[in-house]
Amino acid sequence: MPSPKLSTSLDQGGAPTGAPTKITQGSQTKGGIGESTLRPDGILKVTGEFAYSSDMWHEDMLWGQILRSTVAHAEIVSLDTSEALATPGVYAVMTYDDLPTEVKNYGLEIQDTPVLAHGKVRHHGEPVAIVAADHPETARRAAAKIKVEYRELPVITDEASATAPDAILVHENRDDHHIGHVPHPNVVHRQPIVRGDADRAAGRADVIVKGEYTFGMQDQAFLGPESGLAVPEEDGGVHLYIATQWLHSDLRQIAPVLGLPENKVRMTLAGVGGAFGGREDLSMQIHACLLALRTGKPVKIVYNRFESFFGHVHRHPAKLYYEHGATRDGKLTHVRCRIVLDGGAYASASPAVVGNASSLGIGPYVVDDVDIEAIALYTNNPPCGAMRGFGAVQACFAYEAQMDKVAKELGLDPVEFRRRNAMEQGTLLPTGQPVDSPAPVAELLRRVSAMPLPPERQWESSEGADVRQLPGGLSNTTHGEGVVRGIGYAVGIKNVGFSEGFDDYSTARVRMEVIAGEAVATVHTAMAEVGQGGVTVHAQIARTELGVAQVTIHPADTQVGSAGSTSASRQTYVTGGAVKNACELVREKVLETGRRRFGTYHPAWATAELLLEGGKVVTDGGEVLADLVDVLGEEAVEVEAEWRHRPTEPFDLRTGQGNGHVQYSFAAHRAVVEVDTELGLVKVIELACAQDVGKALNPLSVVGQIQGGTTQGLGVAVMEEIIVDPKTAKVRNPSFTDYLIPTILDTPTIPVDVLELADDHAPYGLRGIGEAPTLSSTPAVLAAIRNATGLELNRTPVRPEHLTGTA
Amino acid sequence: MRVNFTVNGRPQEADDVWEGESLLYVLRERLGLPGSKNACEQGECGSCTVRLDGVPVCSCLVAAGQVEGREVVTVEGLADYARDRAEKGCARGACGGEAPSGTSLDEARNWQARGSDSQTGEGTELSPVQQAFIDAGAVQCGFCTPGLLVAADEMLERNPNPTDADIREALSGNLCRCTGYEKIMDAVRLAAARQGEAV
Amino acid sequence: MDFLRPASWEEALAAKAEHPTAVPIAGGTDVMVEINFDHRRPEYLLDLNRIGDLYEWEVGDDSVRLGASVPYSRIMENLRSELPGLALASHTVASPQIRNRGGVGGNLGTASPAGDAHPALLAAGAEVEAASVRGTRLIPIDDFYTGVKRNALAPDELIRAVHVKKADGPQQYSKVGTRNAMVIAVCAFGLALHPDTRSVRTGIGSAAPTPVRAKVAEDFLDAALEEGGFWDNGKIITPSVAKQFADLCSAACNPIDDVRGTASYRRHAVGVMARRTLTWTWESYRGARRHTEGAA
């Protein structure tokens, strides 16, 4: 119902509690790039003051609740909201029929996802109706009173059921741009990559090794659940405070559904409690806005952990079929592979995941004859999309298992075999694209294998076994019995940035002015800080480029141009590049002002290369020409500019050839595990990593990213999997009780060796770093477990039953 | 129902509390103290950890009505709590523990954060463990941080010289998804070492 | 929903008598999860936090009377020698935060087959003190678990305490989970040697609809130990006896496949834990014997 108090409540309320404010960072120290400066939001985060999206609060706000389907695939026969609407305290109940415009779907690339189900649900937990009420419990009780009658349909759950000739179509009447080249309408996208002649090359092989691999469905499991607050505005628009990875991508999908122009949907980034790909797609954004506009009141939606498992896409589970050939002297002859990704009910990022899985499908190795195919399916399983590593993770698990198998077949050391085939600068990818920056694959393997090994039997103490250091931990399952150590290696390649011809740019607005007698820079971007430390790096870049001590980071919002997504390891590269670029433009303007004001006082203004350092204009020889405070005076210099990395091209749909990527990131791991071989329990003792980062803008953050990514890879090696019932396509473990992520007792020491080989094409020579460590961590742990047990282990995660023959 | 209790040393009253509400909800939505986090609401992540009559508990699993008349300390009150403890010596916590330290005094003295930026909230008084989390790079997205800080602070109160295994055991109820825990280990070692230095 | 806050045990019993559907809440570690996730909306919540007696324990000559709400962390810290099996089990419960709140009363009230305390109670031997306005009774632990998440309590009864036999010999407890901390049992095993009665007791968790004892295995082992004079000669138990015991413990399971593990794995793991815990306890018994003999 419309609220008569709308304007007053907004007037009184103003910005909601928790609305982000500017963060200022700066001091006497230089704090430029290359230093481990501390997070500008650190104090707020340790005092509990930092406002996450779930912390937003507004006078008079309502709580939104989503009713989700209890079955995976069904027609909705009837939907009755009357009882829910009649519940005291309920302000609105909305279904598909209440959507305000003709735009009723959204999606990152293909708009196939209904805002609310229309006559049909395609996966377990699909949104069917939304409720706004004065208390979350009122909203929950009301949602429970909505009567939905389903007529269940057969479920599509795998490749066989999806591509059967009479298979029921997950999406009828597809008209997206992939339908023309897929073998079946239940295939979202198919990308073959063919180079050389794998058949002929196979004839040269002394050994041929085949393998079939299964990769389980991993969840991002960010700790801050999906949440946000939508506040209706007096101009009929709405202001959304939201945790996301890409404000402008959200905006582009939200505004048409609301029937509002984009400038009437204001978006401000609220604090983000982790993302890892899980916030690339929309979750509660449109629902909160719809309810706010319908009720005229601010509406907050916060998922609990159960709902979060249904509220975002997951990492694609995959089946991977590989054939590797090699000669006796340890050279790969060819690779054939087929990667089948389960995209679930909606497309999300599936097409791009297919592009990555195929183009990076053989790993960081030199192979001239390849035959690769990757597809993503439409099924009735949970939708899958972006997660850290994005297609490259699944492939790395399989090709690294294959590399170990081939090495074993040849009687070669697994590291040595990899070294003989390691990619280097100039190597052609299967797409025919040359790798045009350092590719220190062999060096990373050398480094990681040269690290000292952790001592044996660390659990032994004078008082007996310390179970905390044994497989099983506090559960007291072994005092050393059955425990065998194993060591494994893996290396991977991840592309950085958006590939395949995507116009991947970012925007930065940089302002420089004198405040309280000091030159201060303000950096305003729409970059989503999700924990990665982009805000730290932006301040460092501004200091380096503008010579100021104080840098203010403006809250990220849509009042500035798009920064692109905080994903694909791209933000330090692309938004960092945009900030650097904008700073350079500001610097030019400042120098122009300086020349105008002071040029006549010193010839160097006209002749020398000038820099801004320590709050002053200096020559490259170090001579001080002027104080920035004097140059700027009362004037503020501000520039907003877009910045792009080098363009890429789409892959040929038939051959997969094309310069599709812009940069790569390489990491290698050595895992040391101890396995209780009788109980099938694993303790990872150490997970050493070596990674090339190009240039570490903030070494402390770089190491933190590598350790975090490594741990997510460990998780999917030994415990993390969303289990979907193949008969019903329903999720069986949507909770932190049964979807397990590593605790501090599961996580080993993670020594990190950081290599800095500049990529001359990138700002400061840097490389995107966030994803690469997630790739090689999983296969390294699996290799170590194989080494300890002698088992083949063709799936991940590996659970106790797989190690004990009791699956 | 109405619930009266003490939070961070101040008496608080919450009205119209639904009987099924958790302490976490009351803190976050009724008392304006959203520092305790709502990551799982099933006692599996520790991000809502507070001290209830001095004992670390998951506030999501404490019914609001159960805190009537009791004392709660949240991350928002951690700095004051730590200061009081320091001023009162060992009055509020055990001072036992004689196991060898994970980080030596020298290591702590030589430890540096490389860079010394001031930050937003500069001038805010922090507890040693809060400062250590910032200095060691233990904060990324920060959602697990409040719960970890409350748990780590309590552990250091009980056991000022923890071994690595002790730290891991004490923090095994707090999930972090960003850091891989290494920097968290560093932070707790650092806080322990600085604490030892201060005594 | 109504929130009942009795200030005394008598008030609690009266409230439970008046509202038999009232759900007792103490540590909240089960009940609050169900409320937060909308799995349960009891008409009444009966808060037991204000009843101090429930947080106390008394060590008697033969047994420990353990208040229903004594937190696991206190059991770990304070009752290690009297109730070693239960202390070990307590240490495997969830996380430090949960161990600070949860107690044995909650485990018994919920009666989940996965409750960590059950195998230790079964192995040690225990009686549940159940009370109502009608009076108090002691329910032998062997009769307490009646079905999946069902127990022998009457609707008007509350658990006051559990009387656990003091250890007269070594006890052990193992639990398998797929994580090294904070994990619900895939399966668990408790074992207690009772030299006083020359008997062995076991408890199995999460491997049958209720917590169970492996009675055939116990009988077998009792007979084998007696026959070989092991209690007196303190010899190492022969591997074949240990294996037979382990196999019989596996056979006592009646597990299911679920998201936490397969039935086949559970049977296997219970056998491994049975063999290992027997080895650990027997080694400890032999060590204690040698020590006693040496002293004598």
Nearest Cα of chain C lies from the Cα of A319 at a distance, in angstroms, of 21
Domain containing residue A59:
54-153+223-274+279-311
Backbone angles phi, psi at A213, to 5 degrees: -130, 150
Residues of C in contact with A217 (CB under 8 A): none
**Element containing residue A414 per DSSP (H, E):** helix A414-421
Residue A669 and residue A778 in contact, taking contact as beta carbons nearer than 8 Å: no
Helices (H), chain C: 9-18, 31-36, 72-78, 84-91, 96-99, 104-110, 117-124, 215-227, 230-233, 239-251, 263-295
DSSP classification of residue C221: H
Residues C81-101: pLDDT tens digits? 999 999 999 999 999 999 999
Q: Assess whether pLDDT exceeds 60 at residue A27.
A: no
Residues of B in contact with C95 (CB under 8 A): 43-44, 46, 172-174
Residue of C nearest to B58 (CA): C97
Segment 127-186 of chain B within 8 Å of chain C by CB: 151, 169-170, 172-174
Burial class (CB in 10 A: 0-12, 13-18, 19+), A82: exposed
Q: A250 with A135, same domain?
A: yes
Q: A304 with A248, same domain?
A: yes
Q: Answer whether residue A216 is part of any domain.
A: no
Q: What is the mean pLDDT of residues B69-86?
A: 97
Nearest Cα of chain A lies from the Cα of C25 at a distance, in angstroms, of 20
What does the DSSP assignment read for C27-84? S-TTHHHHHHTTS---SEEEE-TT-GGGG-EEE-SSEEEEETT-BHHHHHHH-TTTSH
Least confident piece of the model among A196-210, A534-548, A608-622, A714-728: A608-622
**Position C192: which residue type?**
A
Q: A770 with A707, same domain?
A: yes
Q: C140 with C24, same domain?
A: yes
What does the DSSP assignment read for A686-699? EEEEEEE-SS-SSH
Coil/strand/helix, residue C94: coil
Rounded Cα–Cα distance for residues A315 and A323 (Å): 24
Residue C237 and residue C254 in contact, taking contact as beta carbons nearer than 8 Å: no
Q: A529 with A584, same domain?
A: yes
Q: Answer whether residue A770 is part of any domain.
A: yes
Q: What is the pLDDT of residue B199?
A: 60
Residue of B nearest to C32 (CA): B61
The shares of helix, strand and coil residues in chain A, as percent rounded to the nearest 5, are 30, 25, 45
Name the residue with tokens 């591997």: C239
Q: What is the mean pLDDT of residues B32-46?
A: 97
Give the Cα-Cα-Cα angle A138, A143, A146 (nearest 5 degrees). Answer: 135
DSSP classification of residue C292: H
Q: A634 with A674, same domain?
A: no
Interface check A715 vs C, CB under 8 A:
no
Burial class (CB in 10 A: 0-12, 13-18, 19+), B138: buried
Q: Answer whether residue A317 is part of any domain.
A: no
Phi/psi region, residue A251 (left: phi>0; alpha: psi -120 to 50; beta: rest), is: alpha
Rounded Cα–Cα distance for residues C283 and C296 (Å): 20
Q: Answer whether residue A211 is part of any domain.
A: no
Domain containing residue C160:
2-165
Q: C97 with C226, same domain?
A: no
Residue of A nearest to B144 (CA): A223
For chain B, the C-alpha Rg in angstroms (whole number) is 17
Is the pTM here over 0.90, yes or no? yes
Give the pairing type, strands A795-796 and A752-755: unpaired
Burial A282-316 (b: 16+ CB within 10 A, else e): bbbbbbbbbbbbbbbbbbbbbbbbbbbbbbbbbbb
Nearest Cα of chain B lies from the Cα of C2 at a distance, in angstroms, of 6
Nearest Cα of chain A lies from the Cα of B97 at a distance, in angstroms, of 17
A193 forms beta bridges with A372
Query: Are B116 and A225 inside 8 Å of each other by CB?
Result: no
Q: Answer whether residue A589 is part of any domain.
A: yes
How many structural domains compose chain A?
3
Q: C95 with C234, same domain?
A: no
Q: What is the pLDDT of residue B160?
A: 96
Residue A427 CB contacts under 8 Å (≥ 6 apart), including other chains: A366, A434, A435, A439
Q: C111 with C245, same domain?
A: no
Coil/strand/helix, residue A664: strand
Residues of C in contact with A719 (CB under 8 A): 178-179
* Chain A, chain B: beta-carbon pairs less than 8 Å apart: 234
**Position B98: which residue type?**
E
Residues C106-147: pLDDT tens digits? 999 999 999 999 999 999 999 999 999 999 999 999 999 999
Q: A520 with A604, same domain?
A: yes
Q: What is the pLDDT of residue B196?
A: 84
Residue A537 and residue A508 in contact, taking contact as beta carbons nearer than 8 Å: no
Segment 49-68 of chain B within 8 Å of chain C by CB: 49, 55-58, 60-63, 65-66, 68
Cis peptide before A185 (omega within 30 of 0): no
Residue A804 and residue C266 in contact, taking contact as beta carbons nearer than 8 Å: no
Least confident piece of the model among A647-651, A676-680, B111-115, C36-40: B111-115
SS (H, E, C) A54-98: HHCECCCCEEEEEEECCCCCEEEEEEECHHHHCCCCEEEEECHHH
Q: What's the CATH number where C160 sits? A: 3.30.465.10
Q: Helix A772-789 to helix A392-410 angle, to the nearest 10 degrees?
A: 40
Interface check B111 vs A, CB under 8 A:
no
Residue of C nearest to B44 (CA): C182
Q: A492 with A515, same domain?
A: no
**Percent of chain A whose pLDDT exceeds 90:** 95
Query: Are C178 and A740 inside 8 Å of each other by CB?
Result: yes
Q: What is the mean pLDDT of residues C206-220?
A: 98
Torsion of CA A54, A55, A61, A64, to 10 degrees: 10
Rounded Cα–Cα distance for residues B199 and B85 (Å): 13
Q: Assess whether pLDDT exceeds 80 at residue B89.
A: no
Q: What is the pLDDT of residue B197?
A: 81
How many structural domains compose chain C?
2
Q: Identify the band that residue B101 occupies on the pLDDT scale cut at 50, 70 and 90.
A: very low
Interface check B4 vs C, CB under 8 A:
no
Q: What's the CATH number where C207 sits? A: 3.30.390.50
Considering C143, C165, C187, which residue would you say is the last residue of a domain? C165
Q: What is the pLDDT of residue A598?
A: 94
DSSP classification of residue A155: P
Q: What is the mean pLDDT of residues C213-238?
A: 96
Q: Answer whether residue A323 is part of any domain.
A: no
Residues of A in contact with C276 (CB under 8 A): 477-479, 481
Q: How far is CA B34 from CA A8, A243, B58, C10, C170, in A?
A: 26, 16, 14, 38, 48
Give the Cα-Cα-Cα angle A612, A617, A619 (nearest 5 degrees). Answer: 95
Considering C165, C188, C214, which residue would you say is the last residue of a domain? C165
Nearest Cα of chain C lies from the Cα of B118 at a distance, in angstroms, of 34
Query: Are A475 and C184 inside 8 Å of each other by CB?
Result: no
Q: A477 with A524, same domain?
A: no
Q: Assess whether pLDDT exceeds 70 at residue A442.
A: yes
Query: Are C175 and A742 inside 8 Å of each other by CB?
Result: no
Query: Are C265 and A746 inside 8 Å of each other by CB?
Result: no
Coil/strand/helix, residue B118: strand
Q: Answer whether residue A10 is part of any domain.
A: no
Q: What's the CATH number where A789 sits? A: 3.30.365.10
Q: C134 with C181, same domain?
A: no
Q: A488 with A512, same domain?
A: no
Q: C149 with C213, same domain?
A: no
Nearest to A481 among C92, C186, C276 (CB): C276
Q: C206 with C138, same domain?
A: no
Q: A448 with A525, same domain?
A: no
Q: Answer whether residue A133 is part of any domain.
A: yes
Q: A124 with A259, same domain?
A: yes
Q: A668 with A571, same domain?
A: no
Q: C116 with C76, same domain?
A: yes
Considering C165, C190, C215, which residue would you say is the last residue of a domain? C165
Q: C189 with C152, same domain?
A: no
Tell me how far the alpha carbon of residue C198 is from its chain's centroid. Answer: 21
Q: What is the pLDDT of residue B119?
A: 52
Helices (H), chain B: 23-25, 78-87, 105-110, 128-135, 145-158, 164-170, 182-198
Domains belonging to chain B, first-starting first, are: 3-73 (3.10.20.30), 92-198 (1.10.150.120)
Rounded Cα–Cα distance for residues B150 and B130 (Å): 9
Backbone angles phi, psi at A12, to 5 degrees: -70, -40
Considering A590, A610, A644, which residue would you say is the last residue of a domain? A644
Query: Are B143 and A273 inside 8 Å of each other by CB?
Result: yes
Q: Which two tokens stand for residue C183?
A: 């994990």
